[in-house]
Amino acid sequence: MLLVDTNGKIVFKGHPASRKNLEDDFDKLLKGETLQDIASDDDEEEEPEANMDVDLATAISEIDKNKEILKTL
């Protein structure tokens, strides 16, 4: 879902359930107001970056081991 202000600027992009009061958001945007809490909502939703310090050969080896274990189940 996208929320767009009266100037055509996208002010929110995401799932509607992540907004606390969607009707209030619509009312504010129609009045030309801004949605102050959007930046803080988006920051809370972000997941931490994945650890990229993984040896590729080790990762592939672990995947292969897991494949073998799954075959036995």
Q: What is the mean pLDDT of each run of 10 residues along the chain (73 residues)?
A: 86 88 90 70 51 76 90 86
Contact 22, 16 (CB under 8 A): yes
Give the pLDDT score at 42.
46
Considering Cα of 34, then 45, then 53, then 59, what sign does the dihedral take? negative
Q: What pTM does this model have? A: 0.46
Give the pLDDT score at 52.
61
Give the pLDDT score at 3.
87
